Amino acid sequence: MIAAMPETTGAPALSKRVRTLKPSSTVAMGAKARAIKESGKDVISFALGEPDFDTPQRIKDAAIQALNEGQTHYSATLGTPEARGAIAAKLTGENGIRGLGGEHVAISAGAKHSLYTVANCLFDQAVPGEAPGEAVIPVPAWVSYAPIVELAGGRVVEVPTTPESDFKANAAQIRDAITPRTRLLVLNSPSNPCGTMYTEEELRDIAAVVEEAARTVAPNIVILSDEIYEKIVYGGIPHFSIGSIPGVAERTITVNGLSKAYAMTGWRVGYAACPGEFGTRLIKAMGALQGQMTTNITSFLYPAIPVALNECAAEVEAMRAAFAERAVLAARLLGEVHGLDAPKPTGAFYLFPRVSAHFGKASPGGRTLGSALDFAEALLEERLVATTPGEDFGGCADEHVRVSFACSEAQITEGISRIAAFVDSLR
Ligand code: PMP
Ligand code: GLU
């Protein structure tokens, strides 16, 4: 969606790595909507994927107490033993991932940072003449996976999916995408941007493919299961952690964080965990890398982690229930908009409607809609509704826009009625 940064002439150059890096379109669209709102305009933002709730008070209190008590110094790079232990216990108790102790957990500055660190522990920087390691990613997928893999030196192998399969890849498609160079299979259920989920059975089929591939063609394959939306489920499909399946457990890295479930996006707390011999080596390597990079996360946040994980079930449930109601409302209203079809959301807080039925039409503001980006830009400029255009999510996403319904029911109703009016005005 956003062009890579241009070359400069004359002035000192930046690295090729950043010059060719595409900034995050979700972050950019969120910033654009915020800026228009701050200029006094009545923007409805369906752009950024972040809960509109406040962090539960008891979590804040734990951090405030730690701050007041002087927990303000450097601490262990990967987290305090209490925080790492609480995460290991949660993954064992709630997710059924066996063999985990605190030493198998790395805490990072958000799940995004966890993914970045993991990728740098798995991929080697590209060497001319050598084929890079590969990350198999079913697409559409969250915009940051591909840049994170590529920055680390890996190559993305997209597995295309369609709305008809709820944007899910099946085991046979995954098998076909695996090669001797495969290092990573990225799974994200519930999915950003699709709002859909894999069933336990589907994940067991995929796990069987990975187990077989690990024995035969791809000895270095690792699953990265991004479960950041695990608590926001409402469509009847229970969340299932692929890392609980014994045959792949010791090659599955489970990534999660506090951002979404506890409305803590600004705190920046994420984690990665993996049991077994590989897990031990991986987490150690993540410690070495983060020790040269960030040291620890903000030290007075650590005591808030066990509080969130162990004491906030009621607050999490209240937020989940609100998202469930919003999902029903948003899906119903959007389903009534001409030509905007989307699979029913079952988790996270996204709808991912196809908008390509309107490509080729012109908006009242005089813009011809040739792409999802055109659609999203015209909708924002002419009707003050911010969505995220699909282009950077990969695969068929360039025919879609993402609608994040992490906002009030009144905003959902008003925003979707503006979308309907926009669509009706296209000629
Ligand atoms: N994974 C997915 C699928 C996401 O949507 C996000 C966006 N918040 C993240 C990871 C990163 O979350 P954070 O860095 O806030 O923990
Ligand atoms: N993950 C959220 C989103 O997709 C927040 C922004 C980001 O980190 O991408 O909108």
Is the distance from the beta carbon of residue 26 to the nearest atom of ligand 1 less than 6 Å? no
Q: Is the pLDDT of residue 7 over 80?
A: no
Is the distance from the beta carbon of residue 137 to the nearest atom of ligand 1 less than 6 Å? no
> Residues 115, 145: contact at Cβ < 8 Å?
yes
pLDDT for the residue numbered 127? 87
> Chain-wide mean pLDDT for the chain?
96
Q: Which atom of ligand 2 is nearest to the CA of 388?
A: 10
Q: Is the pLDDT of residue 192 over 80?
A: yes
Pocket test for ligand 2, best of 2, 27, 393 (most atoms within 8 A of CB): 27
pLDDT for the residue numbered 3? 57
Query: Residue 128, SS3?
Result: coil
**For ligand 2, atom 4: residue with the closest CA:** 49
- Cα of 206 vs centre of ligand 2, distance in Å, is 26
Tokens of 156: 């993305």
- Cα of 48 vs centre of ligand 2, distance in Å, is 6
pLDDT for the residue numbered 29? 86
Q: Which pTM was predicted?
A: 0.96
Q: What is the mean pLDDT of residues 249-254?
A: 98
Closest CA to 210 of 153, 256, 152, 249: 249
In degrees and rounded to multiples of 5, residue 412 shows phi and psi of: -60, -45
- Whose structure tokens read 């952690």? 241
- Cα of 50 vs centre of ligand 2, distance in Å, is 7
- Cα of 391 vs centre of ligand 2, distance in Å, is 15
**For ligand 2, atom 3: residue with the closest CA:** 49
Q: What is the mean pLDDT of residues 120-137?
A: 94
pLDDT digits (tens, 9 = 90+) for 298-323: 999 999 999 999 999 999 999 999 99
- Rounded-to-integer distance, Cα 326 and Cα 324, Å: 5
pLDDT digits (tens, 9 = 90+) for 268-283: 999 999 999 999 999 9
Q: Which residues line ligand 2 at a C-beta cut-off of 6 Å? A: 24, 26-27, 48-50, 112, 142, 144, 192
Q: Which H helix or E strand runs over 86?
A: helix 81-93
Q: What is the mean pLDDT of residues 318-335?
A: 98
**For ligand 2, atom 5: residue with the closest CA:** 49
In degrees and rounded to multiples of 5, residue 232 shows phi and psi of: -105, 75
Q: What is the mean pLDDT of residues 57-68?
A: 98
Query: Position 112: which residue type?
Result: K
Q: CB atoms < 10 A from the CB of 277, how many?
A: 8
- Cα of 49 vs centre of ligand 2, distance in Å, is 5
- Cα of 258 vs centre of ligand 1, distance in Å, is 10
CA distances, 201 to each of 11, 194, 207, 242, 250 (Å): 56, 19, 10, 10, 20
pLDDT digits (tens, 9 = 90+) for 170-181: 999 999 999 999
Pocket test for ligand 2, best of 143, 226, 259, 267 (most atoms within 8 A of CB): 143
- Cα of 427 vs centre of ligand 2, distance in Å, is 33
Is the distance from the beta carbon of residue 24 to the nearest atom of ligand 1 less than 6 Å? no
pLDDT for the residue numbered 240? 98
Pocket test for ligand 1, best of 26, 142, 227, 253 (most atoms within 8 A of CB): 142
pLDDT digits (tens, 9 = 90+) for 393-422: 999 999 999 999 999 999 999 999 999 999
Closest ligand to the CA of 265:
1
- Cα of 204 vs centre of ligand 1, distance in Å, is 24
